[in-house]
């Protein structure tokens, strides 16, 4: 009597615990997504700085230059400085927008020119260092923000310090350092640098917060994936354990307590069935193009090891992809018949998209046909003298009459 096999579907039997290399690859993948978030926020902050700088330069500074030109002539107007600053600003903006400006080259070229422009502006300003026309002193900080966008905050602070020092020096040199003017100078320095530092530091803070958020989300997703994989592996292990237990445990118990008599034909058949089932379980999760055919080959091979001549004929038609429980239900009669075969067996497969018919014709005796394990699989059995015929037919549920 063929024992009833356990028919628990292994969940994701091909899933294996993530290998260290795969974990590293996963981390690399997640780093990419975090870096992408970081880059998007950084670019947004940079665009804010660019818009504010050039917006103010065009709308706020350009009219002052024109006004100065009209009243004091071109030399005192600072038009050339305005043009140079514009070129420097565009250059800095283009470089940092393209991801550059990480090295010292950009600030080393731009910052000295900006400081020189600031000094020149203070010297030629018609209304003094603190006057309306000394726009370079307040404007250089914005261009420095662009040039130092990808550099340390300390460098920007150092630039401000340098600008304040040279501005203060000129203030003293020109004899404008009255108490009131010094107070105004300090207030001016604090005012302009606070605004520029806010844009510079604010963008960095928002970018850092976004990166931390992305990292946290990424870590959560990784943990969840690892948890799902671990649960799948555990379920597959449990399923395999139950299948194997259901297949061989009672046989081993029978051998241990002497109840199983291996001289008995049915007992030998039962052992042969269990061995073939185990071999089939081992290959069920193999990734091969035709799993049913692969499993049949394993069944045939197990029988040939017992000296049975098995003629496993290549399938007629193309075997559709079938779930493991259907494949088990199809191969189970074959396994039972092979266990009962005396010398030779012919196994055939006829398949179409909606139907698969497995059959075995063999010389042998089977006390009873194996039970059907799946509702979509119908098995037939016939015996004539020493010849037995078993057929398992799967019909796609979508085409079978309900």
Beta carbon of residue 15, minimum distance to other proteins (angstroms, whole number): 34
- Range in contact with other proteins (rule: CB under 8 A) among 27-35, 132-140, 179-187, 353-361: 353-361
Q: What x-and-dash track marks residues 302-341 binding other proteins by CB under 8 A?
A: ---------x-xxxxx------------------------
Give the up-direction half-sphere exposure of residue 325: CA atoms within 13 A in the CB hemisphere.
12
**Residue 354: C-alpha distances to residues 9, 280, 393, 395, 396 (Å):** 22, 24, 11, 6, 5
- The site for other proteins, by CB under 8 A, has a size of 17
Q: What x-and-dash track marks residues 365-384 binding other proteins by CB under 8 A?
A: -----------------x-x
Which lies closer to other proteins via its Cβ, residue 242 or residue 290?
290
Which residues, 6+ apart, have CB-to-CB distance to 96 below 8 Å?
A: 46, 106, 146, 147, 149, 150
List the 355-364 sheet strands across, edge first. 309-312, 341-351, 355-364, 387-395, 377-384
Which lies closer to other proteins via its Cβ, residue 145 or residue 334?
334
- Rounded Cα distance between 234 and 217, Å, is 25
DSSP line for 68-110: HHHHH-HHHHTHHHHHHHHHHHHHHHHHHHTT---SSHHHHHH
Which lies closer to other proteins via its Cβ, residue 285 or residue 297?
297
Site for other proteins contains 389 (CB under 8 A): yes
Binning the chain into helix, strand and coil, the percentages to the nearest 5 are: 65, 10, 25
Question: Pick from 177, 348, 378, 395: which binds other proteins (CB under 8 A)?
Answer: 348
Question: Pick from 48, 64, 229, 350: which binds other proteins (CB under 8 A)?
Answer: 350
Beta carbon of residue 346, minimum distance to other proteins (angstroms, whole number): 4
Question: Pick from 30, 346, 372, 395: which binds other proteins (CB under 8 A)?
Answer: 346
Beta carbon of residue 342, minimum distance to other proteins (angstroms, whole number): 15
Running DSSP on this structure, what letter comes out for residue 346? E
For binding to other proteins (CB under 8 A), which residues are involved? 311, 313-317, 346, 348, 350, 357, 359, 361, 382, 384, 387, 389, 391
């Amino acid at each position: 009597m063929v024992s009833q096999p356990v028919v628990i579907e292994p969940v994701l039997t091909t899933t294996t615990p993530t290998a260290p290399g795969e974990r590293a690859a996963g981390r690399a993948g997640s780093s990419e997504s975090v870096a992408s978030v970081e880059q998007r926020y950084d670019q947004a902050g940079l665009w804010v700085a660019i818009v504010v700088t050039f917006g103010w330069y065009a709308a706020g500074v350009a009219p002052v230059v024109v006004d100065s030109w009209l009243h004091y002539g071109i030399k005192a107007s600072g038009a050339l400085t305005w043009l140079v600053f514009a070129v420097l600003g565009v250059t800095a903006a283009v470089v940092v927008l393209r991801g550059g400006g990480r090295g010292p080259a950009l600030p080393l070229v731009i910052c000295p020119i900006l400081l020189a422009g600031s000094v020149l502006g203070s010297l030629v300003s018609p209304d003094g260092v603190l006057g309306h026309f000394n726009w370079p002193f307040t404007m250089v900080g914005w261009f420095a923000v662009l040039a130092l966008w990808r550099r340390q905050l300390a460098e920007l602070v150092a630039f401000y310090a340098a600008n304040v020092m040279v501005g203060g020096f000129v203030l003293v040199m020109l004899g404008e350092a009255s108490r009131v003017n010094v107070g105004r100078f300090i207030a001016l320095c604090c005012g302009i640098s606070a605004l520029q530092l806010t844009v510079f530091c604010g963008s960095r803070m928002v970018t850092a917060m976004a990166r931390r958020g992305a990292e946290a989300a990424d870590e959560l997703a990784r943990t969840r994936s690892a948890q799902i994989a671990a649960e799948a592996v555990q379920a597959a292990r449990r399923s395999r354990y139950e299948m194997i237990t259901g297949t061989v445990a009672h046989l081993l118990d029978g051998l241990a307590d002497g109840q199983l008599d291996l001289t008995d034909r049915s007992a030998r058949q039962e052992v042969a069935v269990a061995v073939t089932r185990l071999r089939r379980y081992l290959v069920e999760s193999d990734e091969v193009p035709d799993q049913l055919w692969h499993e049949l080959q394993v069944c045939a091979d197990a029988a040939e090891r017992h000296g049975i001549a098995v003629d496993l004929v290549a399938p007629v038609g193309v075997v559709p992809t079938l779930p493991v429980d259907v494949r088990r239900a199809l191969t189970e009669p074959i396994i039972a018949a092979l266990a009962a075969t005396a010398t030779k067996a012919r196994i055939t497969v006829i398949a179409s998209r909606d139907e698969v018919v497995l059959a075995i014709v063999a010389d042998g005796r089977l006390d009873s046909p194996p039970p059907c394990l799946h509702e979509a699989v119908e098995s037939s059995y016939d015996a004539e003298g020493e010849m037995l015929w078993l057929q398992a037919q799967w019909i796609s549920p979508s085409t079978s009459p309900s």
